[in-house]
Amino acid sequence: MMRSRLAFLARMLFAATLLALVVLSSDARAQQGAAPTSPQTLPQRGANYAWDKSMLRGAFSYRDVIDNAMATKMSSGVAMVIAMRAYVFEDGTNSLVALSIRTCRIAFDLWDEVYRIRIASSAGQRQSAAVNVEGVLRQCAEVRDQPLVDRSLLQPNKSYYLGVLVEVNPVSEEMLNQMHNWVSRPGGNTSIGPGDALFGSFAGLFVRTIGNADRTARFKTPLFSLPPPAPPNP
């Protein structure tokens, strides 16, 4: 009798533990946001655009991808990578036009008490440092003057937007290597060709990322389009 009661209690404890793990997992997924069904259904965030000759450049932020737990982990000396991919979509379609990438590797130097930062993007590569988490966020969780797409890839009278995917500590080393190869292309070229299918479909990129990184942010930006042609010289 006692043995069967203990076995019953053990099963109940196991079930309760399993339920708690499921709830925690669900809560974590809910904090990351529901999986989008198309790029148009991504939540929207603000962004600024500016044309630099033939290249459209952008500025936007994803500071919320570093929460208090991530900031504490980063300050302990554990190296961290924040990987951002900004896909250019034509409005009303799921077709990819261009891809702009930015990765930021952060490692806290316990000896000098500074954050060592290595940034690689379509704009080039550089190394820097920050004395606190705020400095890290300014350099690694905000983009300014990010090359997005050449005007030759856009069509007149059509609108476009960015579908942005940010991952903290992506699981796939292969994808990180592919991203570094991408930003090493000459001239900051962001165009996507038929041979670049390794970056996948929208569903593969934005839906299956849940649980594949420590933190994930997914959003779209406001629409942009080609500027009107300059009036002819009188």
Q: Is the pLDDT of residue 26 over 70?
A: no
Give the integer Cα–Cα distance in Å for 53 and 173: 35
Whether residue 157 lies inside any domain: the answer is yes
Give the integer Cα–Cα distance in Å for 102 and 123: 9
Whether residue 21 lies inside any domain: the answer is no
Greatest Cα pair distance in the chain = 102
Number of domains in the chain: 1
Whether residue 230 lies inside any domain: the answer is no
Quickly count: other Cβ atoms within 10 Å of residue 35's Cβ.
14
- Provide the pLDDT confidence category of residue 41 given band limits of 50, 70 and 90: confident
Whether residue 8 lies inside any domain: the answer is no
Whether residue 29 lies inside any domain: the answer is no
| Residue span of the structural domain in which 133 resides | 39-225
Whether residue 176 lies inside any domain: the answer is yes
| Percent of the chain's residues with pLDDT above 70 | 72
pLDDT (0 to 100) of residue 20 = 35
What is the average pLDDT across 72-97? 88
Whether residue 208 lies inside any domain: the answer is yes
- Provide the pLDDT confidence category of residue 129 given band limits of 50, 70 and 90: very high
pLDDT (0 to 100) of residue 34 = 58
List, for residues 59-83, the tens digit of each pLDDT value.
999 999 998 888 888 888 888 999 9
Q: Is the pLDDT of residue 5 over 60?
A: no
What is the average pLDDT across 5-26? 37
List, for residues 140-187, the tens digit of each pLDDT value.
999 999 999 999 999 998 999 999 999 998 767 777 777 887 777 766
Whether residue 120 lies inside any domain: the answer is yes
Q: Is the pLDDT of residue 8 over 70?
A: no
